[in-house]
Amino acid sequence: MLQYVLKRLLLMIPTILGAAFIIFFILRVVPGDVCELKLGGDGGHYDPVQVEICQKNLGIDRPVYEQFGKFVVGIFTFDYGNSMDTGKPVTHEIGLRFQLSLQIAIMATLVTIIIAIPLGTISAVYQNSWIDYIVRTVSIAGIALPSFWLGILLLLFLLNFSDWMWGIRWSPPLIYKPIWEDPYHNVSQLIWPAVATGYRYSAVATRMTRSSMLEVLREDYVRTARAKGLLEKLIINRHALKNALLPVVTVIGIEFAFLMGGLVVTEQVFNLNGLGQLLVHSVTGKDYTMTQAIVMIIVLVFVFTNFMVDILYAWLDPRIRYS
């Protein structure tokens, strides 16, 4: 097992380096830079001398390999430089939003798990019954509805429902407070985007659980478990679910990583200042350092999540653990 974990950890290094390489060079393929954009404004005319000074200050006049070297060293020392737009350290800018995005991603993933695994299992066990049809309809709706739209509906519902129930129009708080400062405030703000996105992602995971479970329920070892006279509950939970979860874990892992940077519109709807918004902002502003840093952080989350998925795999399946 230890060897397996070490191997997975070592495999993370080339993945991170490869991603860094691609991010760095693709950004620089796009013509123009932050100085031209800032100084040129909307008119497009700028003073070449000023641009040169600006480029010198930001270090983008240096040879590309030198900039790349600095960037790679920065990844491992967590020094991502200053934002080319605001001039503040990138880590500071990201730090503020990372917490929020991470929390939403974790909460949305929990919502996904709470919805997907029981519903997918029930749906498979009662295949082609009315329960199955309801679950399938609900999950198809989840795939069809964009989460930002569901978010808008949720907000409208909250306003009208609170008005109808208590006569006050209540909506989630607008200012973000970290969970350790004010847990109630924090959760009452973030639970709604988490539900909206979690429901959407649960749709894929529910269908995955269902189809994986259906496959496993036809396996010989499930028949063996039945022939042993075990309770159906035990057969599902102990014999089938553990086998059926393997592909589901992969899907949920990938979704978690995606949630870290991919919630631009949902963040907009709930007025949240998350990583997604910051990323869009930095790309349009050609803020190389910021874009690189955010994409790198998303890559790190992806790599780390994949690592966790691999560990979970080994925990679920002894064939991987002992190979």
Binding site for other proteins (CB under 8 A): 219-221, 223-231, 234, 238-239, 242-243, 316-319, 322
* CB-count burial class (<10 Å; 0-12, 13-18, 19+) for 165: exposed
User: Which CB atom, from 54 or from 241, has the smaller least distance to other proteins?
Assistant: 241
Q: Residue 212 CB, nearest distance to other proteins (Å)? A: 13
Amino acid at 159: L
**Least CB distance to other proteins at residue 113 (A):** 19
CB nearer other proteins, residue 145 or residue 320: 320
Task: For 254-272, give one letter per residue: b (16+ CB within 10 A) or e.
Answer: bbbbbbbbbbbbbbebbeb
- Residue 177 vs 223, nearer CB to other proteins: 223
* Beta partners for residue 82, in sequence order: 89
Residue among 25 and 221 whose Cβ is closer to other proteins? 221
Angstrom distance (rounded) from CA 199 to CA 85: 36
CB of 3 to other proteins, least distance (A): 17
Going from the C-alpha of 38 to that of each of 35, 280, 283, the distances in angstroms are 5, 17, 13
CB of 320 to other proteins, least distance (A): 10
Note whether 41 and 309 are within 8 A (CB): no
Least distance to other proteins from the beta carbon of 65, Å? 49
Contact 112, 252 (CB under 8 A): yes
With respect to other proteins, which residue has the nearer C-beta, 56 or 226? 226
CB 244 to other proteins: min, Å: 10
Phi, then psi, of 27 in degrees rounded to 5: -60, -40
The CA distance from 244 to 237, in Å, is: 10
Which residues have a Cβ under 8 Å from the Cβ of 13 and sit 6 or more positions away? none
Q: Closer to other proteins by CB, 180 or 322: give it.
A: 322
